[in-house]
Structure 1
Amino acid sequence: MSFVTVPLPAPAATAARSRVAVADAPVAARSRVAVVAGHVVLAALALFSVFPVYWMIATALRRPEDALSQSPVPWPVSLENVAYVWRAIPIDAMLVNTFGMAAVLAGAQLLIAVLAAYAFAMWSFPGSALLQFLFVGSWLVPFQVTMIPNYLLVSQLGLLGTVGGVVIPQLSGAFAVLLMMQHMRAFPRELIDAAHMDGRSSWATLWTIVIPNMKPALAALGIMGFISAWNEYLWPSLVMRQSDALIQVGVRAFLGAEGNNWGATMAAAGMATVPVLLIYIFLQRYVVDAFVRSGLK
């Protein structure tokens, strides 16, 4: 009887796995280094972005005579600038007026964007490509180009010095229409066809089928519109003749030819950022959902 010796494959397989592990080790190490380097860069960018806000708060909390101090820590801490702002200007009324103005602008832009995007995305009609091109073109035109015509229009309407003069030229936003158009085009057409087969009109389909399934996109657009309107300075400063109507115009009351009260300016600017900061903190997940998803749950 003869025996044939057959080599076992286990040691060869083990050796092959060990060679693969050795080859993958540098790759894994490089990936960890890349992750650490990425976090370091993100942390540096975050600090760079947050530092102006910190310096605004630090300047607001210094004593008035220490407003130009270069110390990174405001010490001793003082609330004199905040108290002076409350006495000097009606900042509570300014915040209320600005909130109302921003809410109206955000709501109007959202409504117009929904209606226009629904028409562009769901219907095919003569001239739709041209209209879409005009919307895109209006978004690319700088505000400085349309500023003078809008100012003349507001003046002829007798709206200078009123909140309506600030709101009316900005009721429609091309960016809002384009953003909603992308989400509308990603909406399943099967749901639209099923709604039409059930006898629903296009208007009913929009408000009962499309809108309820696009809450993240609508919330994100509303938040961005509100923040944009809240932070707008140039146009309100041109239209408003009174400095006690909107917070954007009221902040400049502490800047004058006689001198700039930087402590009060920073205190007023800090109080102006609180409402919009709170809104973004509590609703930021909708902004994330709108950009990483197609608008559908």
Structure 2
Amino acid sequence: MTIEAVARPIGLAKPRLRKKTAENTGLNSAAGHVVMVLLSLVCLLPVYWMVATSLRPANATFETSLWPTSMSLDNYVYALNSIPIVRMLINTVVISSVVTVVQLFTGLLAAYAFARWRFRFDKLVYTAIALTWLVPFQVVMIPNYLLVAKMGLLDSVVALILPHFASALAVMLLAQSMRGFPKEVIEAARMDGARSWRILWEVLVPNLRGTIASLAILIFISTWNEYFWPLLLSRTPENSVIQIGIQMFMTSEGTAWGPLMAASTMASLPILIIYVVLQRQVVQSFMKSGIR
């Protein structure tokens, strides 16, 4: 009798407990969605304000209304006529693409060496490379500038690419991914007669596409947003990048906010188009590679 009396309330309490758990889960999910929507609005508001300001005429630049009372493309026309934006965008695309490809190539070679080979002072060399990642680029800008100047490459697109031929982040990230790759697969490839070069490009690289894709996105965006190095080297707008072009609308006489926002919008368009077209691949690559 006692066992039955105790068992019945416990059996009746289970549906209520499940119901409360489901309700709590639903509330937490709804609260999470509300927070995400608010954060999305906070992130999108500056972008929207940039585009809206670029469409306002000169006499309405400082309007506080969310929607422009009148729209005009004069700011875009002024920006295109003031500086060679198209040429700067092409330079930026070329520099970002070349740097991304070169850093991935050198990173793959170095990562394979650290992950699969053992040599004297290998850990010391790897630690030294990792420490260079902690040094801001502004610290080594002057030595790089002197080196580029002695090579006679000032005010050239090549000079903007040379210091970025290797990336400590690429070496570390790819090395960790290769160390986690199953050794049995590599040994099987070696038994089939494959050498290191073939193992790297036919075995490892196809299976590390997620990591490589996410790393390529990070390198491309980082290079696209580079400002201080081009500012130090550039002498003419035709050999500069879009970030320097945006800065040209900020002078001692004042800031031309309308053309500045128009140039910023045009500078953001390539990145936005890449993200919209490759949205699914971008998200999947970051999820597979573990980058957050």
Q: Structures share a fold, TM > 0.5?
A: yes
Contact 1:254 1:260 (8 Å CA) reproduced: yes
- Report the residue type matching 1:55 in the other structure: W
Instruction: Tell me the secondary structure at the aligned position of residue 238 of structure 2.
Output: coil
SS of corresponding position for 1:134:
helix
Name the counterpart of 2:55: 61
> What is the distance in 1 between the residues matched to 2:62 and 2:17?
58
Aligned counterparts, 1:12-161, within 5 A = 16-161=10-155
Residues in 1 aligned to 2:139 and 2:279: alpha-carbon distance in whole angstroms: 33
CA–CA distance in structure 1, aligned partners of residues 69 and 80 of structure 2: 22
Question: Distance between the aligned counterparts of 2:17 and 2:145, measured in 1?
Answer: 68
Q: Structure 1: give runs of 5+ residues left out of the alignment.
A: 1-5
Match of 1:247 in 2: 242
In structure 2, what residue type is equivalent to 1:274? L
**Residue pair 1:223, 1:280 contacting (<8 A) in 2 also:** no
Q: Structure 2: which amino acid aligns with 1:161?
A: D
Looking at structure 1, the residues matched to 133 and 289 of structure 2 have their Cα atoms a distance apart, in angstroms, of 22
Considering only aligned residues, what root-mean-square deviation do their CA atoms show, in Å?
2.2
Output the CA distance in 2 between the equivalents of 1:284 and 1:118: 29
Determine the C-alpha separation between the residues in 1 that align with 2:235 and 2:181.
45
Shift of 1:15: 5.1
Q: Which position in structure 2 is the counterpart of 1:216? A: 210
Q: What does the per-residue CA deviation read over 1:116-150, in whole Å, with 9 as the maximum and x for residues that have no partner?
A: 11111112222111111112101111222222222
Give, as a single letter, the amino acid of the residue that structure 2 aligns with 1:180. L
What are the Cα deviations for residues 5-37 of structure 1, in whole angstroms up to 9, with x where unaligned?
x9xx8x987754321122333333222222222
Q: Check conservation: 2:88, 2:237, Cα contact below 8 A.
A: no
Percent of counterpart pairs with the same letter? 44
2:286 aligns with one of 278, 282, 291 = 291
Counterpart amino acid of 1:282?
V
Are 2:107 and 2:170, in contact at CA under 8 Å, matched by a contact in 1?
A: yes
Select the residue among 218, 229, 237 that pairs with 1:235: 229
After the TM superposition, which of the residue ranges 143-152 and 286-295 deviates more from structure 2? 286-295
Cα-to-partner distance string for 1:72-122 (whole Å, 9 max, x where unaligned) = 211211111111112222211111111111111111111011111111111
Q: 1:175 aligns with which of 169, 180, 184?
A: 169
The one of 277, 280, 283 aligned to 1:282 = 277
Contact in 1 for aligned 2:246/2:263 (Cα 8 Å): yes
For 2:258, the aligned partner's letter is G
Distance in 2 (CA, whole Å) between partners of 1:70 and 1:239 is 38
**2:132 partner SS:** helix
Q: How many residues align?
A: 289
TM normalised by structure 1 equals 0.90
Question: Is 2:277 the partner of 1:266?
Answer: no
Unaligned runs of 5+ in 2: none
| CA pair 253-104 structure 1, distance change in 2 beyond 3 A | same
Instruction: Please list the CA deviations of residues 239-289 of structure 1 after superposition, one character each: whole Å capped at 9, or x if unmatched.
Output: 111123321111122221122111001100100111121112222433333
The CA distance in 1 between the partners of 2:78 and 2:271, in whole Å, is 22
Q: Which amino acid aligns with 1:208?
A: E
CA–CA distance in structure 1, aligned partners of residues 11 and 102 of structure 2 = 63
**Is the 1:244–1:250 contact (alpha carbons within 8 Å) kept by the matching residues of 2?**
no
Shift in alpha-carbon separation, 1:230–1:96, aligned structure 2, 3 A: same
